[in-house]
Chain A
Amino acid sequence: MSYDGFLPFISAQLQYLLNHYPHTIQIEQARSGTRYFPGSLDRFTLLIPYCQDHMKWDVIYNAEFPLAAPDVIFGAEDEDFHPFHVVCGEDGDSRLVKNSLTDWNNKDPTRLLALVIELRDKYRSYQEKRVGEVDDDRLKFEISTIVSREGIEMHMSSGFEKPEEVKFAVPLMDMNINKMVSACPWRHPQKIYLQVIYPVGRKYASAPSAPRLKLMCTPELKALFSIDDVKLPPWLDGMCMAEYLPHLEELLQRLVIEAVTLIDVRRQFIEALAPLLGRPLEADPVFCRKASFLVCSGPFTFMLHVFLSTNFPKQQPSLMLQSTQHFNSLGMPVKSPLITEYPWSPRWETSQMADRISDFLVDESLNFKRHCNESHLQY
Chain B
Amino acid sequence: MDDLPFQKITISGPTLSALMHRIATSLGDVDGLLFGHVTRLTPSTLTDDNTPQNPDSDLVATITSFFCPNIPLSFYDSLGRVDSATLHRLVSSTTHQSNSSSSSSNFLGWFSARRKSPIRPSMREFCVSQSLSRLKTAAKGDKDLNPCVFLLFTTPVHGEMLYHTHEYRAYQFQVNSRCFEPKTIAIDNIGPDFRGNYGCFSPNSPFPELKCASAMNDEAGEDLNRMERVSKDQKELDMVAEGFCVGDLGKLMGSETVNSTMSLEDLYEKMLGKLDNLARQVEKSNAKVLEMENHNRKLRYKIARPVPE
Contact = CB atoms under 8 A, between A and B. Distances in A.
B131 A73 contact: no
A82 B178 contact: yes
Instruction: Bin chain A's interface residue count.
Output: 35 or more
Of the candidates B126, B134, B178, the one having the most CB atoms from chain A within 10 angstroms of its own CB is: B126
Contacts, number: 120
A84 B123 CA distance: 8
A79 interface: yes
A71 B115 CA distance: 13
A94 B114 contact: no
Contacts of A89: 81, 131, 134
Interface residues of B, number: 41
Contacts of A62: 28-29, 72
A101 B78 contact: yes
A186 interface: no
Contact of A63 (B71, B124, B126, B304): B304
Interface in B23-44: 25-29
Given A7-B305, A68-B78, A85 B116 contact: no
B124 to A, nearest CB: 5
B276 to A, nearest CB: 30
B117 A58 contact: yes
Contacts of B304: 7-9, 63, 66
B303 interface: yes
A174 to B, nearest CB: 36
Given A64-B28, A85-B130, A89-B81, A31 B118 contact: no
Interface string B29-62: 1000000000000000000000000000000000
Nearest to B138: A92
Interface stretch (A32-40, A263-271, A345-353): A32-40
Contacts of A102: 78-79
Main secondary structure of the interface of A (DSSP, over half): loop
Interface in A317-341: none
Given A82-B123, A84-B127, A65 B72 contact: yes
B91 interface: no
Interface in B143-158: 157-158
A92 B135 CA distance: 9
Interface in A203-261: none
Contacts of A9: 304
Given A7-B305, A9-B304, A33-B115, A88 B27 contact: no
Interface in B191-234: none
B120 interface: yes
Nearest to B308: A8
